[in-house]
Amino acid sequence: MATTMTTETSAAGDPAALPGLRRPIPKWIWLGIIFAALLPLIGGQTGLISNFYFLQLSLMIVYSIAVLGLNLLTGFNGQISLGHGAFFAVGAYVTAILIDRYEMHYLATLPLAMIACFIVGYLFGRPALRLEGHYLALATFALAIAVPQFLKYRHFEPLTHGVQGINIFNPDPPFGLPLSPDQWLYLVVLACAVVMFIVARNIVQSRMGRAMMAIRDQPLAADTMGINSARTKSITFGISALYVGLAGALHAIIFEFVSPDSFRFELSIAMLVGAVIGGIATLSGAVIGGFFVQFIEKYADALTKWITSTVHLPIHLEPWTIYGIVLIVLMYTMPMGIAGGLASLWRKIRPPG
């Protein structure tokens, strides 16, 4: 990041003059999105890509949205949260309860889950923001541990069904589209993600985004510039929770099931690891982070087993050994995350000029 002071001052002048800001989304990204949207037709109908792969892709996108949300808070605003699994759970439960109890259409529950999470995030953020750094991390960590217990709480049981969780039904594709439920949900999730990434890009490039970064880089200077720190921070917290809540809601619809055990604090850690490994304070890092959470972290055990058996290692490795090694190596070789690492690699090998 260039010093945010200059960004702020020049932004006051001519936004178009800012390098790297307000650029249109590159064509190859749109092509990629179109290709992704056509996948169910290309791969699904021909049987090249099974329903299970669509499930995995959907989940990857869901985690990308969640990592993006956390990234807005941690990467762009510099606040560490170990508790975003809580908002994931709130989003999932709002959707599940609305579908289960009030028989709402699943798509209609998404905005409500987002609003609910924004409110919860904002309200939690407001007092918690008096805490800085490690203290905030601890407060959010407590939240992550408390939420599953709340969901089991006796007096909420009529709504949450306690430890039993809530079963909902997977929606069928509408209009008799020739898609399987997995393929349809993949499209729904993809559409949500595209919208959310564009919105995030706009937030980051807006006045609000610059204020977020200014607070991260130079809190004192930001205050002096007339930025309302407390307000910006709580709104960022709310927006971040909203993103994660949407991810939770989509997750609930995909799995047709929510229960307190689905949202233990490991989920919060997974998101943070995804954000850091993907590349903090970059939007593309969120996609990589989502990929990492879905395909590396979840299959840590299988990966370890596979490597042990292919290389014929004579020793017994604990399930997460390879995962741990990957994490350490990545952190040493790419301290700015995979997105940051790739960007600096590109700068090195790119032809000059």
Where on the chain is the footprint of another protein (CB under 8 A)? Answer: 50-52, 55-56, 59, 149, 152, 154, 162-165, 167, 251, 255-257, 259, 261-262, 264, 266, 298, 300-302, 316, 319-320
Pick 200 or 327: Cβ nearer another protein: 327
Identify which of residues 226 and 314 has a Cβ nearer to another protein in the complex: 314
Q: Which is nearer to another protein, 223 or 301 (CB)?
A: 301
Instruction: Please say which residue, 316 or 347, places its beta carbon nearer to another protein.
Output: 316
Q: How far apart are CA 178 and CA 119, in angstroms?
A: 38
Comparing CB distances to another protein, the nearer of 78 and 248 is 248
Give dist(CA 257, CA 286) in Å, integer.
Answer: 25
The least CB distance from residue 317 to another protein, in Å, is 11
Q: Which residues pair with 167 in a beta bridge?
A: 257
Give the residues across from 257 on adjacent strands. 167
Instruction: List 166's β-bridge partners, or say none.
Output: 258
Q: b or e along 220-242 (b: 16 or more beta carbons within 10 Å of the residue's beta carbon)?
A: eebeebebeeeebbbbbbbbbbb
Token pair belonging to 178? 């020739």
Shortest Cβ distance from residue 52 to another protein (Å)? Answer: 4
Question: Cβ atoms within 10 A of the Cβ of 42, count?
Answer: 11
Secondary-structure percent of the chain, ordered helix, strand, coil, rounded to 5: 80, 0, 20
| Least distance to another protein, CB of residue 149, Å | 6
Residue 56 vs 81, nearer CB to another protein? 56
> What are φ and ψ of residue 280, in 5° steps?
-70, 145
Minimum distance of another protein from residue 184's CB (angstroms):
16
Residues 276-300: b if buried by 16+ CB within 10 A, e if exposed: bbbbbbbbbbbbbbbbbbbebbbeb
Report the sign of the C-alpha dihedral through residues 316, 320, 323, 329, in that order: negative
Length of the chain: 353
Closest to another protein by CB, 52 or 332: 52
Q: Give least dist CB 94 to another protein, A.
A: 17
Nearest approach, Cβ of 136 to another protein (angstroms)? 24
Nearer to another protein, 212 or 253 (CB): 253
Report the run of H or E that residue 179 belongs to, with start and end: none
CB of 316 to another protein, least distance (A): 8
Residues with Cβ within 8 Å of residue 97, at least 6 apart in sequence: 159, 160, 166
Nearest distance in Å: CB 301, another protein: 4
